[in-house]
Structure 1
Amino acid sequence: MLLTLDMNDSRPLHEQVAAAIRRAIGEGSYGPGDRLPPAKDLAEALGINANTVLRALRDLRDEGLLEFRRGRGVSVAGGADARAQLVQSARELLDEAKRHGYRREDLITILEDLS
C-alpha cells in the first residue's frame, strides 16, 4: 500500500492516514477481505508513530470499513469499498463547503432540499 501524507496539511496525522486508507479502499487497491499491513509497518513507511496509525485504523473500524481479527490482523470489511468512497466524497464536500463559509448544518439543509 502506497500511502503518502502531506506535512503541510492542517488535519491531524491520524485523520490523514485514515483518509489515505479510505482512498485506497475506494479506488480498489484493497477490496473486502484483503488484509492491511501491520500498523507498525505502516508507521515506519510513513515515518510516524505506530499509535497514530492505530488511531486511524480504529476510526476506520468504527466507520465499518475495517475489521480487527485476533491473530489475523486488520482486514477490509465486506462492502467497504463503496462506503469508503462515499465517506471520502462526503468529507471532501464538507471541507469544500467550509472553505466557502458554509457550516455542516447548512450543507445538511442543502442535501435535504435535493431529496
Structure 2
Amino acid sequence: MLLRLDTTDTRPLHEQVAAAIRRAIAEGECRAGERLPSARDLSTALDLNVNTVLRGLRELRDEGLLEFRRGRGITVAEGAAAPRSGLRIKVRELVAEASRLGYSRTDLIDMIRELS
C-alpha cells in the first residue's frame, strides 16, 4: 500500500491519513481481511508522528473500516470496501441532475472547485 499526502491540503494530518486509507480501500488497493502496515511503519513512510497516524487509524476503526487485534495488527474489516463504482453512480447522478437544471459540466466542476 502506497500512501501519499498532499502537502497543499489544509486538513489536519490525521484526517489526511484516514482519507488516504479510505481511498485505498475504495480503490481495492486494500481488501477485506488484509493487514495494514503498523502505525510505526506508516508514520516512518509518511514522515509523521506515530500518534498522528494512530489518530487517523482510530478514526477508521470507529467508522468500522478497520479492525485492531492484539497480536494480529490492523486489518481491513470485512465488508469495509466501499466500491468505487458506488461513487461513480453518484457522480453520474449529479452530472445528470446538473444537466437537467441547465448547468454544464464546466459549471459543475467550477462549483466543486469553489467548495475546496
**TM-score over 0.5 (shorter chain):** yes
Maintained 8 Å contact 1:14/1:52: yes
In structure 1, what is the Cα distance between the partners aligned to 2:56 and 2:29?
A: 18
Distance 1:83 1:28, change over 3 A: closer
- Where in structure 2 are the equivalents of 1:1-115 lying within 5 Å? 1-82=1-82, 96=112, 99=115
Deviation at 1:86?
6.3
Distance 1:62 1:83, change over 3 A: farther
Q: What letter matches 2:115 in structure 1?
A: R
Distance 1:55 1:21, change over 3 A: same
Q: What letter matches 2:44 in structure 1?
A: E
Helix, strand or coil at the partner of 2:52: helix
- After TM superposition, which residue ranges in structure 1, 4 or more long, deviate above 6 angstroms? 83-87
In structure 2, what is the Cα distance between the partners aligned to 1:84 and 1:19?
A: 14
Relative to the length of structure 2, the TM-score reads: 0.72
Gaps of 5+ in 1: 91-95, 101-115
In structure 2, what is the Cα distance between the partners aligned to 1:86 and 1:11?
A: 25
Q: What letter matches 2:77 in structure 1?
A: A
Largest Rg, 1 or 2 = 2
RMSD: 2.6
- What is the number of residues matched between the two proteins? 94
Q: What letter matches 1:99 in structure 2?
A: L
Gaps of 5+ in 2: 91-111
Deviation at 1:83?
7.0
Name the % identity. 63
Q: What letter matches 1:65 in structure 2?
A: L
Helix, strand or coil at the partner of 1:2: coil
Deviation at 1:8?
1.4
Distance 1:15 1:85, change over 3 A: farther
